[in-house]
């Protein structure tokens, strides 16, 4: 088959509609391609046979892309995620079992029309970030033979990067869905904990585990998350997706604040600092404002993952096998877990208390920005380095990833550059829990801005989104007593409000001092002609506080859409026309503060 055949979701759907291929023909070609690649890259532990594929293909007979959102879309599955009737190994033959049912997420995808191609190689028991810790072979990088694929979702990343699957499922406890994405020019979405069901997943740390998506673009990850973010009764760690984070939240980003760690660490890499600086400039060009943040509490939380009792949580999965069949588990995995049996409940609670302290600190930092930008890792490590120092060099890869699930944040890895030797280089955008679609919107904007070639050398064919992106915060335009320092401003501040900017409305409004006071109240009304620009402020409050704020607004005022001087439309105070009876037109003052000053 054509090695550059475009497997992206939208283009493959279009190919099916146009009759350029069929699921049966495409899947057969992809299976042959995967079988040819496997001896070199070791990406599959089990590639489905023609007979094993038939039920999934037969289910598509008589159906079409119009009926099934993922009709005929090939995907790969990390082999710690169950596919009914296919062994789950977690890269440990002695641990393998035959699941009768598929993982909830796999069931969802198949019901939507997707076709599983096979089970992918991984670092044993998902313990590793490099892709070399498997008895089924080391997974090398898709671009440069001297580097690893990254892990633990090694084969999953390669399945997409090498063009045999449209997307792949991985898992991410400490970076396993982000490090391999960055090393292979992919988007790696580690959604908020609980959004993607982990029922049917072999745990690494069950309280922290996430199922992740590998895709060529952020827009595809957005589509997949929107289709599958569902509360799952099979998974007691499943969480409902808030309305602000549904598929319609993916959109165009405008002004935003992004945190940059201080200090930055690149572990001596000569190229990463310049690549990171270029990415900062790209985000600023998109509309971002850089804010330096103290990164020390994030890094301390990261150290708890492997220095604290969470290693014992990993041991709860593999420990019995280690004790009964020591040789069944790779030596490097045993070395990581060897401290676990001595962990006490006292140590666990002390670690939890410290983690909660750190989370409170980090949450205050995160409240001041829309996301944080970090390198995906300080520097890439070679296969030779991993062989020489397997634990240390693996730890290097996790410098910017290990804290994420500990602190309950969402994250997405994004391609952002290429090193001089051709190795892909990437960054991570992370944000508050349940801001996944907003982060993907930023990732989409960054991908389009950097214009790096996608998998197979493809370029973007779908237009950029035009509707505004949303997150967990609501912006409110105020023009009167809610302005900073005025009597009602406390209603915003008590709801954790933050002043974003002082600006003006578009020149289409009139401002009135309403009758019926005290207190004095302004009313801003949009007019067809004779308007002027009015001084306003844009504030931001948590979306969960918007309802209580709205219900406290007295008639004839309310919240609607207000156009700002730069053409943006934001939610803001408006006045019902009936409220203007007896009102004084004060538009000539240009704003409420000037009017109040004129009154002495």
Exposure b/e, 494-511, CB count within 10 A at least 16 = b: ebebeebeebbbbebbbb
Give the whole-angstrom CA distance, residue 225 versus residue 247.
Answer: 8
In Å, how far are 517, 526, 574, 586 from 578, measured between CA atoms? 16, 14, 12, 17
Pick the catalytic residue from 102, 134, 142, 152: 152
Pick the catalytic residue from 78, 119, 193, 359: 78
For residue 182, how many other CB atoms are within 10 A of its CB? 30
User: For 208-344, where are the alpha helices, taking DSSP H only?
Assistant: 218-228, 272-286, 296-307, 310-324, 331-337
Answer for the pair 234, 268: CB distance below 8 angstroms, yes or no: no
- Angle, in degrees to the nearest 10, between helices 218-228 and 9-17: 80
Give the whole-angstrom CA distance, residue 119 versus residue 134.
Answer: 14
List all residues 6 or more positions away from 202 whose beta carbon is below 8 Å from its beta carbon. 80, 81, 88, 90, 125, 126, 317
Give the whole-angstrom CA distance, residue 208 versus residue 174.
Answer: 8
Catalytic residue check, 157: no
Sign of the four-CA dihedral 81, 86, 91, 95: positive
Give the whole-angstrom CA distance, residue 198 versus residue 209.
Answer: 7
Give the whole-angstrom CA distance, residue 13 versus residue 21.
Answer: 10
Give the whole-angstrom CA distance, residue 20 versus residue 13.
Answer: 10
Give the whole-angstrom CA distance, residue 172 versus residue 178.
Answer: 8
Give the whole-angstrom CA distance, residue 91 versus residue 79.
Answer: 7
Pick the catalytic residue from 142, 156, 176, 197: 176
Catalytic residue check, 597: no
Sign of the four-CA dihedral 447, 453, 458, 459: positive
Query: What is the widest separation between alpha-carbon atoms in the chain?
Result: 88
Catalytic residue check, 153: no
User: For 471-537, where are the alpha helices, taking DSSP H only?
Assistant: 490-493
DSSP state at residue 337:
H
Q: Does the bond joining 167 to the residue before it have cis omega, within 30 degrees of 0?
A: no
Q: Give a three-class secondary structure readout of 126-153.
A: HCCCCCCCCCCCCCECCCCCCCECCCCC
Answer for the pair 412, 187: CB distance below 8 angstroms, yes or no: yes
**Tokens representing residue 330 in the block:** 């790779």
Answer for the pair 176, 205: CB distance below 8 angstroms, yes or no: no
Answer for the pair 106, 75: CB distance below 8 angstroms, yes or no: no
Answer for the pair 598, 586: CB distance below 8 angstroms, yes or no: no
Sign of the four-CA dihedral 520, 525, 529, 534: positive
The set of catalytic residues is 78, 152, 176
């Amino acid at each position: 088959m054509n090695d550059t055949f475009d497997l992206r979701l939208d283009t493959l759907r279009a190919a099916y509609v146009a009759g350029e291929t069929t699921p049966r023909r495409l899947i057969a070609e992809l299976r042959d391609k995967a079988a040819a690649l496997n001896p070199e890259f070791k990406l599959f532990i089990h590639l489905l046979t023609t007979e094993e594929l038939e039920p999934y293909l037969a289910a598509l007979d008589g159906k079409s892309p119009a009926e099934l959102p993922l009709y005929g879309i090939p995907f790969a599955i990390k082999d710690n995620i169950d596919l009914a009737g296919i062994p789950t190994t977690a890269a440990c033959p002695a641990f393998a079992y035959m699941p009768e049912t598929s993982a909830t997420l796999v069931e969802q995808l198949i019901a939507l029309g997707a076709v599983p191609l096979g089970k992918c190689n991984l670092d044993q028991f998902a313990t590793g970030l490099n892709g070399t810790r498997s008895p089924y072979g080391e997974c090398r990088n898709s671009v440069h033979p001297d580097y690893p694929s990254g892990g633990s979702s090694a084969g999953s990343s390669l399945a997409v990067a090498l063009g045999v699957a449209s997307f792949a499922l991985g898992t991410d406890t400490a970076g396993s869905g982000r490090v391999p994405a960055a090393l292979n020019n992919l988007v790696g979405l580690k959604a908020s904990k609980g959004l993607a069901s982990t029922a049917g997943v072999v745990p690494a740390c069950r309280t922290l585990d996430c199922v992740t998506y590998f895709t060529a673009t952020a827009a595809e990850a957005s589509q997949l998350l929107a289709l599958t973010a569902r509360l799952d009764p099979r998974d007691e760690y499943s969480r409902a997706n808030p309305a602000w984070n549904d598929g319609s939240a993916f959109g165009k980003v405008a002004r935003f604040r992004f945190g940059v760690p201080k200090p930055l660490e690149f572990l001596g890499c000569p190229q990463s600092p310049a690549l990171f600086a270029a990415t900062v400039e790209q985000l600023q060009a998109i509309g971002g404002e850089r804010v330096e943040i103290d990164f020390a509490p994030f890094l301390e939380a990261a150290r708890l993952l492997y220095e604290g009792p969470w290693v014992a949580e990993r041991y709860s999965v593999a420990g019995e096998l280690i004790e009964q069949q020591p040789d069944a588990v790779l030596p490097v995995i045993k070395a990581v877990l060897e401290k676990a049996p001595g962990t006490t409940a006292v140590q666990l609670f002390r670690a939890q208390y410290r983690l909660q302290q750190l989370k409170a600190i980090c949450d205050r930092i995160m409240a001041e920005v829309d996301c944080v930008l970090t390198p995906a890792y300080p520097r890439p490590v070679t296969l030779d380095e991993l062989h020489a120092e397997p634990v240390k060099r693996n730890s290097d890869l996790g410098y910017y990833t290990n804290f994420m699930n500990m602190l309950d944040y969402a994250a997405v890895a994004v391609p952002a550059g290429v090193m001089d030797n051709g190795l892909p280089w990437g960054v991570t955008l992370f944000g508050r829990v349940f801001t996944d679609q907003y982060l993907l919107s930023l990732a989409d904007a960054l991908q389009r801005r950097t214009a790096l070639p996608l998998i197979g050398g493809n370029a973007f064919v779908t237009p950029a989104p035009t509707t505004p992106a949303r997150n967990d915060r609501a912006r409110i335009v105020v023009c009167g007593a809610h302005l900073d320092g005025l009597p009602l401003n406390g209603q915003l501040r008590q709801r954790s409000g933050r002043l974003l900017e002082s600006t003006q409305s578009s020149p289409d409004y009139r401002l009135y001092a309403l009758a019926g006071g005290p207190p004095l109240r302004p009313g801003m009304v949009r007019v067809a002609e004779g308007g002027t620009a009015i001084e306003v402020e844009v504030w931001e409050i948590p979306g969960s506080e918007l309802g209580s704020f709205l219900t406290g607004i007295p008639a004839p005022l309310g919240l609607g859409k207000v156009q700002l001087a730069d053409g943006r439309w934001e939610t803001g105070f408006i006045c019902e026309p009936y409220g203007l009876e007896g009102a004084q037109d004060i538009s000539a003052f240009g704003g409420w503060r000037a009017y109040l000053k004129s009154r002495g």
